Structure 1
Amino acid sequence: MFIRNCLTPLKELVLLKPKMTIREALDVFGQSHYSLPVISEDGSSFLGILSKRSILEYYESKPAQTSLEELHKDPIDHCIEKTTSNEFVDLRKGHFEDCLPIIVRYPFVPVLDGDQFVGIIKRSIVEQTLESCFGTNVKGIRILLGVHNQVGTLLGVSKIITKYNVNIISDIGFEADSNYLRRLLIKIEETPNLAKILHDLNKHGYRVLEVE
């Protein structure tokens, strides 16, 4: 559901095609773009990403005597940053976490429906989602806990906090693949009962690592 809701469809995108010249692409970049998707001439396939950086890298690979005028005549096909077969998400089966290893390498996440390129997920959308998960823009208190990875841990922590009529803003677990110890980052609303909550958490075996 995340993928479909966060998709920027093709009709809303500026798209490049491989036979365009570098000069033509730079003219498009002049409209405040720094990187853009490149699709096949028939519009069905995602070929990769063209950016000002990839153009520069291509220019640096040319003979030293190559002029800018000569460079501008080359097709962009020579300097497309090609993604691999697993560097996209599936419109129907993809999940938010599938975007993370891609967005750290590229300026957007390509989205496919089967073999058909249908749009992208922008980096800004991924950032906004992460900010929402962590409650970044909500005032509160962060408590980092060391907990055992066992059934009922989150429920136990929640019961202690809500006993004091305190709202939990967000909760994020780390070391999800651990079979023993994990860290749990809880963000709660500000409360005069913080000391009591911390005491109860420690008493029930939830080790308080940091509070801020």
Structure 2
Amino acid sequence: MFVRSTMKSIYQCHVATPSQSLKKTLAKLNEKDIQAMPVVDEAGKFLGMISAQTIYKSTFLTGQQQEDFLSNTEVSEIMTHADLFILNNEVFEKTLTTFKDYPILAVVDDNKKFLGIVTRYDVLEQFESVFGMNKSGVRIAFTSEESSGRFAKLADILQHLHANIISITTFDETDKLARRIVLKVDEDVRTDKLKNKLEKAGFRVLDITNA
């Protein structure tokens, strides 16, 4: 899955211009009830981020009268995070390592043209989908030794039991020779038979719960 398939497009985004006053920008942030906005120039190029927190902090540090500072200071003077962006053709997982304790992430093309944003909520929503959290079922956690053909064995077991897979995720174990697997299947599967077949195939079942 790529970033472009999950981002909010430019038409759904609120942005600030570099010459916009902080007063106008803060009013927009408050009106739209958002924490931050991308800063985009007239050519559509992404320049950085502006947030209510940055505006308040700058106002406090300036020593000027609040009204004067907000009215006479442009966004370009205090904007931050010019590097807080991701390319639209990147895989979605890369958003996890690109967020820098900021509520949004800009999505751009190879020329840094602004295309949209990804929010923390978007990331959370996608991971809920990865783990099948929006559909009830049976969650089975088990470990498998690193060996070829282990997923073929798992597929054979699930096919034999007519188990419909909702989600499947793997995790690295501390032991490099083993890997944790979390599988979620439909509720109508016979968990006793599934556990028995998994263990006979060499998997170590850790937990089975309804989820």
Give the TM-score normalised by the residue count of structure 1: 0.85
Helix, strand or coil: the match of 2:53?
A: helix
Tell me the amino acid that sits aligned with residue 75 of structure 2: I
TM-aligned CA distance change 1:192 to 1:166, over 3 Å:
closer
Helix, strand or coil: the match of 2:81?
A: coil
Aligned pairs (5 A) from 1:127-142: 127-142=124-139
Q: When the two structures are aligned, how many residues end up with a matched partner?
A: 206
Whole-Å Cα distance in 2 between the matches of residues 39 and 81 of structure 1? Answer: 12
Ranges in structure 1 where 5+ consecutive residues have no aligned partner: none
Q: State the percentage of identical aligned residues.
A: 25
Shift of 1:198: 1.0
Aligned pairs (5 A) from 1:129-208: 129-175=126-172, 179-191=176-188, 193-208=190-205
State the match for 1:36 in structure 2.
37
> Does the CA contact (< 8 Å) of 2:8 and 2:116 recur in 1?
yes
Choose from 105, 108, 114 the match for 2:110: 114
TM-aligned CA distance change 1:117 to 1:21, over 3 Å:
same
State the match for 1:79 in structure 2.
78
Q: Tell me the alpha carbon deviations over residues 153-201 of structure 1, each in whole angstroms, 9 at most, x when there is no partner.
A: 2221232233222211100111299852111110111236211211221
State the match for 1:69 in structure 2.
67
Whole-Å Cα distance in 1 between the matches of residues 136 and 37 of structure 2? Answer: 36
Shift of 1:134: 0.8
Shift of 1:104: 6.1
- Tell me which moved more, 169-178 or 198-207: 169-178
> Does the CA contact (< 8 Å) of 1:9 and 1:120 recur in 2?
yes
State the match for 2:122 in structure 1.
125
State the match for 1:100 in structure 2.
96
Q: Tell me the alpha carbon deviations over residues 86-141 of structure 1, each in whole angstroms, 9 at most, x when there is no partner.
A: x422223x111111223463322212211122222333333222111111011011
Helix, strand or coil: the match of 2:31?
A: coil
Tell me the amino acid that sits aligned with residue 18 of structure 2: P
Helix, strand or coil: the match of 1:30?
A: helix
Tell me the amino acid that sits aligned with residue 76 of structure 2: D
Whole-Å Cα distance in 2 between the matches of residues 170 and 70 of structure 1? Answer: 55
Give the TM-score normalised by the residue count of structure 2: 0.85
State the match for 2:2 in structure 1.
2
